[in-house]
Copies of this chain bind each other. A is one copy, B any other.
């Protein structure tokens, strides 16, 4: 019943959003906000932010708001370098007045009000917020408004009325495949707050390690974690840290599969005899809990009961994905059980397990959330379907009255571009055809940071800045879809996230220094230039490689671990080529910039050679470096051919395309991003009419 009331609230929110007009791209770009607010009216002039700036709170108050005020000034200090003379609440000239209507829920709930109004004038700013949660959202917007101006730091005059499009805006971090240290988690929660995400989905157990301390079942971490786990004190600390930032923590204990690490200490609940060990490899593993054994449910009753006390959130994620059934097929007793219950398939057996576990979750006061697989006939209506399969699965569930969130399309471990994730909408695809009422059952989505190839060092660079674009998808109106605007603002938010303490820009540079070893400035510049146009291979290519088999202890210190998922330099080069060709190759400025860039690439390999001689980690990318040189040469040849004013011969074109085709093959798990754009140049050079004769 309470649940229904919440859903009705959500419905009202969604309608409100739609009533706000969409902004033009120009308006979006001028404001370096991410996510873009639901409604913005820009004014003229701006509010000066200097050392005398202060913030005061009126209306409802609580310690969390005081801390938020201190943190706000601290963040403002970091992003401006100003030292503020006043503490929050000090009297004197107050630049920002925050009014809070009422308290938030004691435990943050799905669908709680996050709306706020922020008005900035040259004389001061006013943030009107429904509750502390809304205050947090509004303060982050204000921080993003403050920038450097010709006269000093300032926030533009503006009126913002804002609220989220979706109530469930999450980031999953997998702390099992690689352990995520507490400081890394905390700085990523800071990043989540900055872009208004509100659910941290903590994938805290899997085959490769059980990471949450259980006092009642201590062997889970004693022998199932390799010594890397979170104490209950640390978990409580992180939950408090998240609450201060308006973030719920939803723990996931994946079962009945993905659970080898449980069985190291408790083999009795497994379907096959032990002994078990913590898995070191990646992939879908055979071990699974025994769904036919009452011991399993007794164990889970104890375990879920304890964890339900530890994690205050209403939702409890029970996983449920990727059970291959081999362990069940191998156990005659389980086969007997299936026959006795007339289960034809292992899916039916898993349905039985899911129903039992969901009842245990309910018994301990929680609602269950799980991957698509838990959506089985007769599942209780309060479950929440977490879809890795896609909008079709989500739509099918919604049509039967089940709520869901989307992660398909937001798998940030697949190394897609920000634009590709950005184009995925939880209400897109099959969900677009749902009725308005059914659409209200789609609550949002989660970016998923599976950690096979990330650790403390490169995780920030995998999550950020792309997750800021995904956060915009979840928060901003459906009409906000301009990828160019997104990239322009993403570049700004990315730097702001570094000021906040994230390391997605600075740590890769340190990794490149490690790859290089001692180097001259010229040598290191050559390595930077190469790294700047490389991207890791996409999707699950890395895991499928036969030449490279990583396990949990494989060092993540190679070039593929250091370079960002998306090459900014590659994207800009591609845009420049498109621009050049769109002018029939007449744009002289674009031509000269292309020529300069291609020349640098052609000559880069020679500069990198000394490093490749000294460092095995550079030697690994020697082929990529030679390929870049080849691309530079091919691109220059194309420009020369274009300059001749007549289509280049077919033989030449075939030769160039063969080179480029070879370059497109991944090497050292890396792609050379400019290849397609240079192919375009070659094709333009060889195509009648594509490029007019140059005007020189």
Interface residues of A (CB under 8 A from B): 32, 51, 79-83, 85, 147-152, 457, 491-492, 495, 498-499, 506, 509-511, 513-518, 521, 552-557, 561, 568-569, 572, 613-617, 619
Contacts and interface: CB of A to CB of B under 8 A. Distances in A.
A147 B509 contact: no
Given A148-B514, A148-B515, A515-B148, A457 B613 contact: no
Contact of A555 (B82, B510, B568): B82
Given A51-B555, A80-B514, A81-B457, 17 more contacts: A80-B557, A81-B514, A81-B556, A82-B555, A83-B552, A83-B553, A83-B554, A85-B553, A148-B614, A148-B615, A148-B617, A150-B619, A152-B616, A491-B518, A499-B510, A499-B514, A521-B568
Number of copies: 2
A377 to B, nearest CB: 45
Contacts of A619: 150
A306 to B, nearest CB: 29
B82 A613 contact: no
A151 B81 contact: no
A152 B556 CA distance: 14
Given A514-B81, A555-B80, A556-B81, A149 B615 contact: yes
A622 to B, nearest CB: 11
A-B pairs, top 6 by smallest CB distance, nearest first, are A81-B557, A148-B517, A506-B506, A148-B615, A83-B553, A492-B518
B518 A498 contact: no
A509 B517 CA distance: 21
Contacts of A616: 148-152
Contacts of A492: 518
Nearest to A614: B150
6 contacts: A82-B557, A83-B553, A83-B555, A148-B616, A149-B614, A149-B615
Interface centre among A83, A152, A569 (most CB of B within 10 A): A83
Contacts of A147: 517-518
A83 B81 CA distance: 37
Nearest to A515: B148
Contacts of A561: 81
Contacts of A491: 518
Contacts of A79: 514
A44 to B, nearest CB: 18
B517 A553 contact: no
Nearest to A227: B87
Contacts of A149: 614-616
Nearest to A507: B506
A553 B53 CA distance: 13
Contacts of A85: 553
A613 B150 CA distance: 6
B148 A81 contact: no
Nearest to A178: B83
A555 B498 CA distance: 20
A212 to B, nearest CB: 22
A619 B150 CA distance: 8
A616 B79 CA distance: 15
A514 B152 CA distance: 12
Contacts of A32: 518
A150 B615 contact: yes
A83 B499 CA distance: 29
Contacts of A509: 506
Contacts of A515: 148
Nearest to A82: B555
Contacts of A511: 81
A615 B94 CA distance: 25
A31 to B, nearest CB: 11
Contacts of A613: 150
A396 to B, nearest CB: 42
Contacts of A457: 81
A568 B521 CA distance: 10
Contacts of A514: 79-81, 148, 499
Nearest to A84: B553
A465 B677 CA distance: 42
A521 B151 CA distance: 23
Contacts of A553: 51, 83, 85
Interface centre among A82, A149, A457, A557 (most CB of B within 10 A): A557
A600 to B, nearest CB: 13
Contacts of A572: 521
A492 B516 CA distance: 11
A153 to B, nearest CB: 8
Contacts of A510: 495, 498-499, 506
Contacts of A498: 510, 513
Contacts of A518: 32, 147, 491-492, 495
A38 B219 CA distance: 51
Contacts of A516: 148
A521 B576 CA distance: 14
Contact of A495 (B151, B513, B552): B513
A553 B152 CA distance: 16
Nearest to A495: B513
Interface centre among A516, A552, A617 (most CB of B within 10 A): A617
A668 B615 CA distance: 42
Interface centre among A148, A506, A511, A555 (most CB of B within 10 A): A148
Contacts of A521: 568-569, 572
A517 B561 CA distance: 29
A530 B32 CA distance: 26
